[in-house]
């Protein structure tokens, strides 16, 4: 297959799609259960009413507003329906070309939709995730064609560097710099890895991207492989995401058949094989060196860094490892130019970021906003605020390794730097809203228990420290703590943070430290008053 | 092990074919260990000691390493599962929305703690750390059906009905 064949395929499929007067897209993500039945009911209705030549019913990817799912999108017209059931098929089909079904209609001016700025999620929900033709027709793989036919690897890397893209997995390392390091590294063999081990509870950005636009991730990976000179790549996905794995497998097969993977990709001299590796339920494997150990078939124990994977990664070879969302950002940067991307976001955090909005918030779901959007806008405008008349208490970003940010800082614009300053982290993009009914000690203890259980045990500060911190938190929870325990907790957190081997241990104290900073009174309230002898006795 | 547990799986040839194919796909390289263990669990439902020993030999890997890997990852289990498996998500969103109450109810109602299988082999209870459907919290998974956004009363009724003991 040659580049012009891709154009032809895309044009043919566009023409096919244009032949239908109406398109019905049903969210077929994990967050919209029963979507199969809705698709079947709609198709049956369309067939019964002999509209099959005019109306096309397809599965779509995630449309974000999981709280009101299953969501159905009608094009043209941008009509979005909420909480659809198979029984609604008749009304929906009957309304095509007429007034929308009022009882299902989502207001078109809902801030959830209007306040977002989609880049990675642009095609999510608008194409069939299981159709490579849909992706091609929507302009997919054009960035790859541009890169392979008009750019040298160094040009690709320069564009990524100029865009200012930073790693979306959490650490925020400049992506272009990482690519340049791997490209420069010497060695015959180089590897490419996609980190899809989204282990943070409360995060589902990568799942949704893999389920909705798997080809976008593949395209980003192929461009990356070309840029750094890798010929074999692994996509490491959690086994807990069966639908993402299934769609990814299908996408790889489709790409192989169209010569977008394999030998001499679309007539170039680039070869790339991609394989899937299933995770097996270990949070620590989200850490890049632990993930590499796991790909090698071992226990996921992190390696000391340096050397970094860019120099010595998989099998000791230079390895480029990026997160799912990072790769998905690559095709639009190549297609639209680095200036376009760099114009979005803040001074040092460029582009857009996908966030998973969950917890005590009305519009739970998946959103994408430019970096620099305020937490208040995310929680109250896009997220619709707190349900059941409760008050906002904190927003937890960055998963079990992140911090809890109180209401006083809701106007903070979200960026890697601003969240760090607040004692939290960007993390991969999980945002969990906590309302006044939740005790911070309880939630922090929950996170610490998670980190303790997920500690791989390789280094002592993390293995023993998380257990000891949990012990102290338990004393606070049971109102048996002393002033000495509070001091001990702070010392211990500082120790674990600064002496652990990998990110898991280094960030495990974050929830404790951030709540000690913003919700200290909750700790103080649980300290047992000293006895008359002057000693605190639990 | 419950009385109704299946015979040791190591002797089941058709299932071994699935596992052998997985190893073959990776040329019996030692690094195929995790992929192989996934295949074993898919084929046999769990990892038993005899099977792990055989895998170690076939992949020319020390048994200690095979056992190390099998016990390191939460997804792998070394005991057979019951006829049905109920997974309770204990991710943050599900925790905030009350799945700890669900676990307490299961302990009272079915005398099961996470990781345990009922003596009659009917039900296994597992705890999963986030299935990524946080917007549907609280989430439970009955065999492979995901059930979300149900009140506690609705969810417990669904479980009862699913197990055929609605009372």
CA distance linking residue A217 with residue A34, whole number of Å: 26
Name chain B contacts of A397, Cβ cutoff 8 Å. none
Q: Are A185 and A219 in contact (CB under 8 A)?
A: no
Measured distance between the N- and C-terminal CA atoms of chain B, rounded to whole angstroms: 29
Record: contact A281-B91, CB cut-off 8 A: no
Neighbour-count burial for B144-164, b at 16+ CB within 10 Å, e otherwise? eebbbbeeeeebbebbeebbe
Q: What is the CATH number of domain A352-438?
A: 3.10.20.600
CA distance linking residue A453 with residue B2, whole number of Å: 28
Q: Assess whether pLDDT exceeds 80 at residue B167.
A: no
Q: With pLDDT > 70 as the criterion, what percentage of chain A qualifies? A: 99
Name chain B contacts of A297, Cβ cutoff 8 Å. 29-35, 69
Architecture of domain A19-108: 3-Layer(aba) Sandwich (3.40)
Which range is least confidently modeled, A412-421, A438-447, B142-151? B142-151
Name chain A contacts of B33, Cβ cutoff 8 Å. 297-298
* Amino acid B12: pLDDT: 73
Q: Tell me: the pLDDT tens digits for A205-221?
A: 999 999 999 999 999 99
- When pLDDT is cut at 50, 70 and 90, the band that residue A33 belongs to is confident
Which class is A441-524 in CATH?
mainly alpha
Beta bridge partners of A56: A23
Nearest to B91 among A202, A300, A454 (CB): A202
* Amino acid A534: pLDDT: 56
Residue in chain B closest to A314 (alpha carbons) equals B31
Instruction: Work out the minimum CA distance from B7 to partner chain A, whole angstroms.
Output: 26
Record: contact A199-B130, CB cut-off 8 A: yes
Record: contact B134-A200, CB cut-off 8 A: no
Q: Is B130 on the interface with A (CB under 8 A)?
A: yes
**Residues contacting B57, CB < 8 A, separation 6+:** none
Peptide bond into A223 cis (omega under 30): no
Q: Assess whether pLDDT exceeds 50 at residue A225.
A: yes
Q: Assess whether pLDDT exceeds 50 at residue A325.
A: yes
For A76, other C-beta atoms within 10 Å of its C-beta total 8
Per-residue DSSP letter, B125: E
- The topology (CATH level 3) of B84-162 is Glutaredoxin (3.40.30)
**Residues contacting B89, CB < 8 A, separation 6+:** B99, B128, B129, B130, B131, B133, B137, B138, B139, B140, B141
Q: At B153, which helix (H) or strand (E)?
A: helix B152-162
- Sign (positive or negative) of CA dihedral A333, A337, A340, A342: positive
Q: Which of A170, A164, A121, A111 is nearest to A373 (CA)?
A: A111
> Which of B134, B136, B145, B146 best probes binding to A when mutated, by most A CB atoms within 10 angstroms?
B134
- The topology (CATH level 3) of A139-342 is Rossmann fold (3.40.50)
* Amino acid B11: pLDDT: 67
Average pLDDT over residues A359-382: 96
Q: Are A27 and A61 in contact (CB under 8 A)?
A: yes
* Amino acid A34: pLDDT: 87
Q: How many Cα atoms sit within 13 Å of B114 on the Cβ side?
A: 15
Question: Which token pair is B37?
Answer: 């263990």
Instruction: Work out the minimum CA distance from B35 to partner chain A, whole angstroms.
Output: 7
- Sign (positive or negative) of CA dihedral A423, A425, A426, A429: negative
- When pLDDT is cut at 50, 70 and 90, the band that residue A294 belongs to is very high
Q: Tell me: the pLDDT tens digits for A414-440?
A: 999 999 999 999 988 999 999 999 999
CA distance linking residue B41 with residue A41, whole number of Å: 36
Which range is least confidently modeled, A263-272, A306-315, A479-488, B9-18? B9-18
Record: contact A69-B135, CB cut-off 8 A: yes
Length of chain A as a residue count: 538
Residue in chain A closest to B97 (alpha carbons) equals A359
Q: Is B127 on the interface with A (CB under 8 A)?
A: no
CA distance linking residue A295 with residue B15, whole number of Å: 25
Nearest to A299 among B69, B97, B130 (CB): B69
Mean pLDDT of chain A: 95
CA distance linking residue A390 with residue A513, whole number of Å: 25
Q: Tell me: the pLDDT tens digits for A116-131?
A: 999 999 999 999 999 9
The alpha carbon torsion through B7, B11, B16, B17 (nearest 10 deg) reads -120
Q: Tell me: the pLDDT tens digits for B80-118?
A: 999 999 999 999 999 989 899 999 999 999 999 999 999
Q: Is B17 on the interface with A (CB under 8 A)?
A: no
Q: CA dist A158 to A152, A153, A224, A268, Å?
A: 10, 9, 12, 20
Instruction: Work out the minimum CA distance from B135 to partner chain A, whole angstroms.
Output: 5
Residue in chain A closest to B96 (alpha carbons) equals A359
Name chain B contacts of A66, Cβ cutoff 8 Å. 133, 135-136
* Amino acid B5: pLDDT: 44
Whole-prediction pTM? 0.95
What is the predicted ipTM? 0.91
- When pLDDT is cut at 50, 70 and 90, the band that residue A450 belongs to is very high
In chain B, where the domains are located:
9-72, 84-162
* Amino acid B165: pLDDT: 66
Number of CB pairs < 8 Å for A and B?
139
Q: Are A17 and A55 in contact (CB under 8 A)?
A: no
**Residues contacting A471, CB < 8 A, separation 6+:** none
A1/A362: higher pLDDT: A362
Nearest to B135 among A67, A198, A277 (CB): A67
Q: Assess whether pLDDT exceeds 60 at residue B7.
A: no
Q: Assess whether pLDDT exceeds 60 at residue A18.
A: yes
In chain A, where the domains are located:
19-108, 139-342, 352-438, 441-524
Quote the radius of gyration of chain A (alpha carbons, Å).
24
3-state secondary structure of A503: helix
């Amino acid at each position: 297959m040659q580049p012009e064949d891709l154009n032809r395929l895309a044009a043919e499929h566009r023409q096919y799609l244009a032949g239908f007067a109406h398109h019905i897209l049903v969210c077929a993500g994990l967050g919209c259960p029963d979507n199969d039945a809705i698709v079947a009911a709609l198709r049956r209705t369309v067939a019964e009413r002999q509209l099959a030549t005019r109306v096309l019913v397809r599965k779509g990817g995630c449309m974000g507003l999981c709280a009101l799912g299953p969501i159905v999108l009608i094009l043209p017209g941008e009509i979005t329906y909420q909480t659809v059931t198979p029984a609604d098929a008749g009304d929906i089909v009957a309304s095509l070309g007429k007034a929308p079904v009022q009882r299902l209609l989502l207001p078109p001016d809902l801030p959830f939709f209007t306040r977002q700025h989609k880049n990675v999620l642009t095609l999510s929900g608008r194409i069939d995730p299981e159709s490579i033709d849909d992706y091609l027709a929507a302009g997919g793989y054009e960035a790859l064609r541009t890169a392979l036919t008009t750019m040298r690897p160094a040009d690709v890397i320069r564009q990524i560097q100029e865009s200012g893209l930073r790693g979306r997995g959490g650490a925020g390392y400049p992506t272009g710099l990482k690519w340049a390091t791997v490209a420069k590294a010497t060695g015959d063999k180089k590897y490419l890895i996609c980190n899809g081990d989204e282990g943070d509870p409360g995060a589902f950005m990568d799942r949704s991207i893999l389920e909705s636009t798997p080809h976008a991730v593949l395209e980003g990976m192929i461009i990356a492989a070309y840029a750094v000179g890798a010929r074999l790549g692994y996509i490491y996905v959690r086994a807990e995401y069966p639908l993402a794995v299934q769609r990814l497998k299908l996408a790889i097969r489709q790409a192989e058949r169209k010569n977008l993977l394999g030998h001499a990709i679309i007539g170039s001299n680039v070869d790339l094989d991609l394989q899937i590796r299933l995770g097996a339920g270990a949070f620590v494997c989200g850490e890049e060196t632990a993930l590499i150990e796991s790909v090698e078939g071992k226990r996921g124990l992190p390696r000391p860094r340096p050397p970094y994977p860019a120099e010595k990664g998989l099998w000791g070879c230079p390895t480029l490892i990026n997160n799912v969302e990072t790769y998905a950002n690559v095709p639009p940067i190549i297609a639209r130019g680095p200036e376009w991307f760099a114009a979005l976001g803040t001074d040092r955090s460029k582009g857009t970021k996908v966030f998973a909005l969950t917890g005590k918030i009305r519009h739970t779901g998946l959103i994408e906003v430019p970096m620099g959007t305020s937490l208040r806008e995310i929680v109250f405008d896009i997220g619709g605020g707190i349900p059941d008349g409760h008050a906002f208490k904190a927003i937890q970003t960055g998963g079990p390794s992140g911090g809890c940010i109180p209401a006083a800082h809701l106007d903070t614009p979200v960026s890697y730097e601003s969240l760090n300053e607040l004692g939290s982290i960007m993390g991969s993009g999980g945002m969990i809203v906590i309302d006044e009914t939740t005790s911070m000690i309880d939630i922090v203890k929950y996170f610490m228990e998670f980190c303790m259980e997920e500690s791989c045990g390789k280094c002592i500060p993390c293995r023993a420290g998380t257990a000891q911190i949990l012990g102290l938190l338990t004393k606070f929870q049971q109102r048996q703590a002393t002033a000495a325990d509070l001091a001990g907790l702070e010392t211990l957190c500082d120790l674990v943070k600064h002496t652990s081997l990998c990110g898991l241990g280094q960030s495990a104290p974050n929830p404790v430290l951030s709540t000690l900073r913003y919700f200290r009174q909750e700790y103080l309230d649980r300290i047992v008053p000293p006895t008359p002898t002057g000693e605190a006795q639990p | 092990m419950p009385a109704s547990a299946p015979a040791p799986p190591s002797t089941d040839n058709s299932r071994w074919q699935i596992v052998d194919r997985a190893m073959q796909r990776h040329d019996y390289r030692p690094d195929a260990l995790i992929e192989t263990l996934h295949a074993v669990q898919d084929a046999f439902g769990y990892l038993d000691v005899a099977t792990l020993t055989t895998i170690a030999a076939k992949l020319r890997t020390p048994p200690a390493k095979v056992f190390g890997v099998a016990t390191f990852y939460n997804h792998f289990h070394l005991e057979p599962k019951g006829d049905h498996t109920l997974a309770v998500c204990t991710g943050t969103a599900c925790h905030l929305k009350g799945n700890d109450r669900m676990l307490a109810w299961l302990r009272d109602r079915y005398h099961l703690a996470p990781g345990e299988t009922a003596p009659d082999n009917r039900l296994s209870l597992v705890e999963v750390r986030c299935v990524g459907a946080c917007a549907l919290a609280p989430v439970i998974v009955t065999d492979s059906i995901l059930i979300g956004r149900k009140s506690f009363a609705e969810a417990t009724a669904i479980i009862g009905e699913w197990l055929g003991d609605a009372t």
